[in-house]
Amino acid sequence: MKKLILVFLFLIASAFASDIKVQVLGSGGPELNDNRASSAYIIWVDNKSKILVDFGGGAALRFEEVKAKIEDLDIILLTHLHIDHTADLPALLKASFFSNRFKDIEIYGPDKGLFVPDTKTFINRLFENKKGAWEYMGDFLDGNAQFKLQTTVIPFSKEIKTIYDKNNIKIKAISVNHGPIPATAYKVSIDGKSITFSGDMSGKYSTLEKLAVNSNILIAHNAVPKGAQGVAKNLHMTPDIIGYIAKEAKVKNLVLSHRMLRTLGKEDITKKEIRKYYEGKINFAEDKSIYLVQ
């Protein structure tokens, strides 16, 4: 009887649970000869494009191709401020002028570092009245436009911080090591299902494995191959590190993205390295790949 009640409760909960998908808009890095857009992802909730994670070059066109809507966007999470993760943000903002969007957009991103400003200063430098590169868009910062960009800087932390908890969406963040560039990994949980985004990182802080615990999907950046050395290894995870983290965190599905010429064509050896530790599902992302979060 108890079992029957549990099954019944599960069916009721499933009937009301949101349909959650994550779509890769850009599965590449900064290169322009890989036929891939740079880093960008959408989380679809009940077929609405609610959350963006990064928005690198080419993402604006992919956004259009997958029929995402600016009107449905609530949140933009920036893992870090490198060009291949942020370059199409001005295109998105300009396009919003021609949309029916009237609700503020929340942007989150890391604090400043040696070579980059904090995320709020970064957005100001793009659009601020009289100072920004595109100062004619300043109305979107001072509240005189149809909506406002609300930017929140996430301070450096090797402990997990909840940065958003509204409308059934919970977002946690933790700092990850991307050489000298401040970088943040995010875990987005909706109805008890979660997706973790590594962003670009080396694995040196051992923080991603804490954040990603029990994620339904971990999107990890496969920017360097087995045996990478020097700068590449200081900035990025080699495949064995990705495998170790996926295993430690017990993730259900590992999606490899931010693929680059140096990793493309090496999928077999990459997979073998990951399999030293991790036994779950492995997918190599393409632009517009879509994954049900389950």
**Phi, psi angle pair for 123, to nearest 5°:** -65, -40
Smallest distance, Zn ion to C-beta of residue 5, A: 49
Q: Among 88, 128, 200, 209, which residue sits at the site for Zn ion (rule: CB under 5 A)?
A: 200
134: closest CA among 176, 178, 90, 167? 90
Stretch that binds Zn ion, among 25-33, 60-68, 112-120, 129-137 (CB under 5 A): 25-33
**Residue closer to Zn ion, measured from CB, 141 or 241:** 241
**Residue closer to Zn ion, measured from CB, 70 or 78:** 78
Stretch that binds Zn ion, among 10-18, 22-30, 89-97, 204-212 (CB under 5 A): 22-30
Stretch that binds Zn ion, among 14-22, 113-121, 128-136, 198-206 (CB under 5 A): 198-206
- Using CB under 5 A as the binding rule, whether residue 72 contacts Zn ion is answered as no
**Residue closer to Zn ion, measured from CB, 74 or 200:** 200
**Phi, psi angle pair for 41, to nearest 5°:** -140, 150
Binding mask 229-248 for Zn ion (x = CB under 5 A): --------------------
Q: What is the 3-state secondary structure (H, E, C) of the chain?
A: CHHHHHHHHHHHHHHHCCCEEEEEEECECCCCCCCCCCCEEEEEECCEEEEEEEECCCHHHHHHHCCCCHHHCCEEECCCCCHHHHCCHHHHHHHHCCCCCCCCEEEEEECCCCCCCCHHHHHHHHHCCCCCCCHHHCHHHHCCCCCCEEEEEECCCCCCEEEEEECCEEEEEEEEEECCEEEEEEEEEECCEEEEECCCCCCCCCCHHHHCCCCCEEEEECCCCCCCCHHHHHHCCCHHHHHHHHHHCCCCEEEEECECCCCCCCHHHHHHHHHCCCCCEEEECCCCCEEECC
CB-side neighbour CA atoms (13 Å) of 159: 1
Stretch that binds Zn ion, among 5-13, 105-113, 194-202, 242-250 (CB under 5 A): 194-202
Indicate left, alpha or beta for 230 from its phi (over 0: left) and psi (-120 to 50: alpha). Answer: left
Smallest distance, Zn ion to C-beta of residue 258, A: 6
**Residue closer to Zn ion, measured from CB, 83 or 292:** 83
**Residue closer to Zn ion, measured from CB, 36 or 50:** 36
Binding mask 78-117 for Zn ion (x = CB under 5 A): ------x---------------------------------
**Residue closer to Zn ion, measured from CB, 137 or 201:** 201
Size of the site for Zn ion (CB under 5 A): 3
Stretch that binds Zn ion, among 102-110, 171-179, 196-204, 272-280 (CB under 5 A): 196-204
Stretch that binds Zn ion, among 11-19, 28-36, 236-244, 281-289 (CB under 5 A): 28-36
Q: What whole-number distance in Å separates Cα of residue 99 and Cα of residue 97? A: 6
**Residue closer to Zn ion, measured from CB, 57 or 138:** 57
**Residue closer to Zn ion, measured from CB, 83 or 133:** 83
Interface residues with Zn ion (CB under 5 A) are 29, 84, 200
